Structure 1
Amino acid sequence: MISVGIVGGTGYTGVELLRLLLRHPNAQVNVLTSRTEDGRRVDDMFPSLRGHTDLKYSDLNIDELKKCDVVFFATPHGVAMKHTEELLAANTKVIDLAADFRLQDLEQFEKWYGMQHACPEILKDSAYGLSELNRDKIKNAKVIGNPGCYPTTVQLGLAPLFKQAATLVKPESIIIDAKSGVSGAGRKASLGMIYSENADNFKAYGVAGHRHHPEIVEALENISGQKGVFDHILFVPHLVPMIRGMLSTIYIDLTDEGDAADLQSLYEQFYANETFVDVMPAGSSPETRSVRGANQLRIALYKPQPKKLIVLSVQDNLVKGAAGQAVQNMNLMFGFAEDAGLQGIGLLP
């Protein structure tokens, strides 16, 4: 049984981490921090956890965190990297759900997150935590940068096309039309997130540029081994009036080779042994509600006309897009069954 700490336990991803880890057969959460809720019982704030935990929030105490085998940071960008060096010195592993260890390009990190990196040498040795595509490196890593939610849908949606057969598509043609529920913005007071601003409404945001774009580009370059060909892909996120759920519709131009290929079989074979990626039968339409609360990503393919491919990719942004994927990474790091604590089935209706 490993000892776990969660820094930032009052946000949506923090409490989702706790929900998943409370059912984990090999992990016990011993430290749950909150600067503002020190001393408060977690089930007082989140009554769904009544009867499942007696944990209380505590202020961040680095000495207590150093007693843990692994610490999750469910915090704003810039927090994890301030504490990672000290935790590593105590042989405590780190999984960051923010962006501190996602981008290897420091110039892009500073541009999009408005801060200098506090530990660039540690960043070089960290692993990008998309389990299905980076499993071997994750197993041996001490620091994990959990992927962003949108980039997860995009990478898993495109990986079969670039990992094994990069000549099937025209990379510069890719358009990513992505939608997320409001929980993706976090649990904070904000005028743009209140009910009357979002109910009966649907809007694009970050159209001029979004911080997940450079993450998508860097990740696709690593998947494909091609540099400089993804710089002009288009990525536009949208906010939809639901709590959980994310759907990315990806439009791609095919080459002659790609047009002749059996892409359905390519995807099915690529993900044949992946517990958490479901390639649906041809003609299917994956729904966000089918993965609500589950660490599952579902994919469907369409060829509406010659040399055109549409990839549909859905997930729960708080689970496979955040907390569930973080637990999946923890399982790999400690040699547990990859699905430990993650066997939940999606809630429908």
Structure 2
Amino acid sequence: MLEVGIVGGSGYGAIELIRLLNQHRQVSIKYIFSHSKAGEDIKNSYPHLQDNVKLPFTTLDVENVECDLVFFATPSNVSKHFIAQLLDRNIKVIDLSGDFRIKNPQVYKSYYGEKPAEQTYLNQSNYSLAEWSHVNQKTTNLIANPGCFPTATLLALYPLITNELINHDHIIIDAKTGVSGAGRSLSQNVHYGEVNENLSAYKLGSHKHIPEIEQYLSELTHSNIKVTFTPHLIPMTRGILTTIYVDLSSDVSNQYIHQLFEKTYEDKPFVRIRQLGEFPKTKEVLGSNYCDIGIYVDEERNKAIIVSVIDNLVKGASGQAIQNLNKLYGFKENEGLDLLPVYP
């Protein structure tokens, strides 16, 4: 049985890890670390777990940690302070924060406003978009789990960009997210009175996920790709919907592109391609590790519109982290994740 620890145990990402790992037949949770709630029973913060999770919150003391892998479900600027010690003790890490996603330290500092991790560990980290990653137990020690917006975006763009079907200079990403993406900490912009009956764009040109999207697309194409990305906050708890607009580089039909997406993802259990003329809604993936994608090609204008939806806390965070764990250790990819969406 694989033993794991979770850092940032009182946050939404950690609670989703606990929920999903509770269904995992190959993994046992040994530690739940939370500095702010150390010594408290988890049921005090999350009563819905009182019959399933008996572990208390504890403080992370790396020297006394004995397990196979640690998840960091923390904000940025936390995991990079512990990575070296954990890796030195042969404990693998899956980091759900942004500390190891961006390889260029100057770009990281520009977007995150913080000192980057040591370049040695940035180079060592494996940015693992689970459907297309190459991780294994022998050679991978540090996984940088993708962000929620990049996950929805990159899965939608992958078939088009790898088949050289789009103009690299004109990629527009219009994204909507629920408030849980901001975490559990209090802030004015997610206060009920601010977000209810409201819709707002935020962090235009400065969102942390912009360089992450650009880095991955640039690596795929061996070129320098820039995107236009606008996130919006909407009054719902969970979910992301991205609408992506691209110019096609050749004349192709709606049917051709649809078949391309179906072929690309035919052996990927968590990506579902909708029928032609059908477009997904966030409610249809709620609580699941699915990414649902719908495609429209404007044949007259030679443009494509891709709609991609995920649950930001599952496929956009904890679910994908477990999917990466499964790939890392050679478990069935859907182990612990074979859950239907919650509807309505």
Answer yes or no: same fold by TM over 0.5: yes
Pick from 268, 277, 281 the counterpart of residue 275 of structure 2.
281
Counterpart in the other structure of 1:227: 223
Residue in structure 1 matched with residue 3 of structure 2 by the alignment: 3
Hey, what does 1:332 align to over in structure 2? 327
Q: TM-score, normalised by structure 1?
A: 0.95
Query: What secondary structure sits across from 1:88 in the alignment?
Result: helix
Q: Which residue does the alignment assign to 2:212?
A: 215
Cα distance change on mapping 1:139 and 1:273 into 2, 3 Å = farther
Deviation at 1:97, TM superposition (A): 0.5
Structure 1 residue 174: deviation in Å?
Answer: 1.0
SS of equivalent residue, structure 1 residue 40:
coil
Partner in structure 2 of residue 101 of structure 1: 100
SS state of the match for residue 266, structure 2? Answer: coil
In the TM superposition, residue 255 of structure 1 has moved relative to its aligned partner by 2.0
Letter in 2 for 1:314: V
Per the alignment, in what secondary structure is the counterpart of residue 58 of structure 2? coil
User: By how many angstroms is 1:299 displaced?
Assistant: 0.3
Contact 1:31 1:64 in 2 (8 A): no
Change (3 A) 1:129 1:287: same
- The within-5 A match list for 1:159-308 is 159-163=158-162, 165-166=163-164, 168-224=165-221, 226-228=222-224, 230-231=225-226, 233-258=227-252, 262-306=256-300, 307-308=302-303
Per the TM alignment, residue 118 of structure 1 is displaced from its structure 2 partner at its CA by 3.1
User: For the Cα contact (< 8 Å) 1:288–1:315, is it kept in 2?
Assistant: yes
Unaligned runs of 5+ in 1: none
8 Å CA contact 1:5, 1:32 repeated in 2? yes
- The equivalent residue for 2:140 is 141
Task: Report how far residue 177 of structure 1 moved.
Answer: 0.3
Instruction: Describe the shift of the 1:115–1:254 C-alpha distance in structure 2 as closer, same or farther (beyond 3 A).
Output: same
Structure 2 distance, partners of 1:268, 1:92, is: 38
Alignment of 1:32-111 (within 5 A): 32-65=32-65, 67-111=66-110
- Displacement of 1:115 in angstroms is 2.1
Asked if 2 retains the 8 angstrom alpha-carbon contact of 1:129 and 1:138, the reply is no
Shift of 1:173: 1.3
Q: Residue 136 and residue 32 in structure 1: after superposition, are their counterparts in 2 closer, same or farther (change >3 A)?
A: closer
Please state how far the C-alpha of 1:139 moved relative to its aligned partner: 7.5
Deviation at 1:261, TM superposition (A): 7.5
* CA–CA distance in structure 2, aligned partners of residues 25 and 39 of structure 1: 28
In the TM superposition, residue 107 of structure 1 has moved relative to its aligned partner by 1.3
- How far apart, in 2, do the equivalents of 1:180 and 1:280 lie? 21
Code of the residue aligned with 1:217 in structure 2: it is E
Residue 43 of structure 1 and its aligned partner are, at CA, apart by 1.9
Q: Distance in 1 between matches of 2:199 and 2:115?
A: 34
> How many matched pairs?
343
- Equivalent AA in structure 1 for residue 337 of structure 2: L
- For the aligned residue pairs, the C-alpha RMSD in angstroms reads 1.5
The one-letter code of the counterpart of 2:323 is Q
CA gap of 1:62–1:247, structure 2 versus 1, over 3 A, is same
Q: 1:199 to 1:138 in 2, by over 3 A?
A: farther
Q: Deviations over 1:206-265 (max 9, x none)?
A: 1132111111100111222x312x22x210000000000000000111123445881000
More displaced 10-residue stretch of structure 1: 91-100 or 104-113:
104-113
Counterpart secondary structure, 2:308: strand
Distance 2:6 2:342 in 1: 25
